[in-house]
Amino acid sequence: MAEPRILILGGTGEARALARLLDDAGIDVVTSLAGRVANPRLPVGPVRIGGFGGRAGLADWIGANAITAVVDATHPFAARITPNAVAAADAAGVPYLRLARPAWSPSADDVWLRVPDIASAATELERRGGRVFLTTGRQDVSAFADVDAWFLIRVVDEPDGPLPARHQLLRSRGPYDLDGELALLREHRIDVLVTKNSGGDMTVAKLHAARALGIPVIVVDRPAEPAGITRVTSPQAAFDAVTG
């Protein structure tokens, strides 16, 4: 049987943790990044950067690089790569596993308004106005460009599309803590927080801070993923699945 050689579709902390687990166990692993962030946090082991050219390109790459299994550890909101990877792994005849952290869920003290997509979040803000803390990420900022509200926009890299007329950009990268998030919400007199339901610990403090201050949160639900795929929620579970 071929030696295991795992392709991790990455760009998340879970992907880096899994690369570390596999590398530590002496298993051949290569991580793929889309190349969206200027200075990405890199995993251990070999890394390739850039799109594959769709499903067929990814299937070819899997074959050409003797990949024996694909772990899709991309972000829950990376909606195109996941169906591509499912189809490509199938076409290449290798197993596919989805590693995605659990979604956040509201507690009794949270004031959440759940919306199905970014456009609906923008529509809701248009109705409310006020002072918005926007944390949906660089790629989604332009959806809010025409909204008549004031925005504190927190991003890792500067957005390249149009921006709302009234805004302040805050360049930073998590993890964030409760004290820092409370201070930010107070300093900017934020009325409403907007977030994707990304899940995980790195950025959850904003939700705790909003809860403590009674600030409502517009939460964009995760996009649907292909039915019938095998899913795990932790790097260790993914490691166990591909090595078991």
Residue 60 bridge partners (DSSP): none
Q: Does 9 bind ligand NAP (CB under 6 A)?
A: yes
Q: Does 120 bind ligand NAP (CB under 6 A)?
A: no
Q: Does 53 bind ligand NAP (CB under 6 A)?
A: yes
Q: Between the CA atoms of 82, 83, 87 and 90, what dihedral angle is there, to the nearest 10 degrees? A: 50
Stretch that binds ligand NAP, among 33-41, 107-115, 176-184, 236-244 (CB under 6 A): 33-41
Task: List the one residue out of 3, 225, 223, 243 whose CA is nearest residue 98.
Answer: 225
- Comparing CB distances to ligand NAP, the nearer of 52 and 104 is 52
Q: Does 5 bind ligand NAP (CB under 6 A)?
A: no
| CB of 15 vs ligand NAP, minimal distance in Å | 7
| CB of 117 vs ligand NAP, minimal distance in Å | 12
Selected binder of ligand NAP within 7, 10, 19, 206 (CB under 6 A): 10
Which 3 state secondary structure label does DSSP give 129? Answer: coil
Give just the sign of the alpha carbon dihedral 75, 80, 82, 84: negative
Contact in structure between 33 and 49 (CB atoms under 8 Å)? yes
| CB of 1 vs ligand NAP, minimal distance in Å | 27
**Within positions 76 to 105, which residues make up the interface with ligand NAP, using CB under 6 A?**
77-81, 84
Selected binder of ligand NAP within 7, 19, 29, 58 (CB under 6 A): 58
Which 3 state secondary structure label does DSSP give 48? Answer: strand
Contact in structure between 20 and 3 (CB atoms under 8 Å)? no
Q: Does 11 bind ligand NAP (CB under 6 A)?
A: yes
**Within positions 160 to 219, which residues make up the interface with ligand NAP, using CB under 6 A?**
none
Residue 32 bridge partners (DSSP): 9, 48
Q: Does 36 bind ligand NAP (CB under 6 A)?
A: yes
- Paired tokens of 210: 């909003």
- Paired tokens of 170: 């805050």
- Which residue is closest to ligand NAP by CB? 51
Residues 198 and 202: their CA atoms lie apart, in Å, by 10
- Comparing CB distances to ligand NAP, the nearer of 42 and 111 is 42
Contact in structure between 197 and 220 (CB atoms under 8 Å)? yes
| CB of 179 vs ligand NAP, minimal distance in Å | 24
Q: Does 43 bind ligand NAP (CB under 6 A)?
A: no
- Classify residue 130 as left (phi > 0), alpha (psi -120 to 50) or beta: left
Binding site for ligand NAP (CB under 6 A): 9-12, 32-34, 36, 51-54, 57-58, 74-75, 77-81, 84, 137
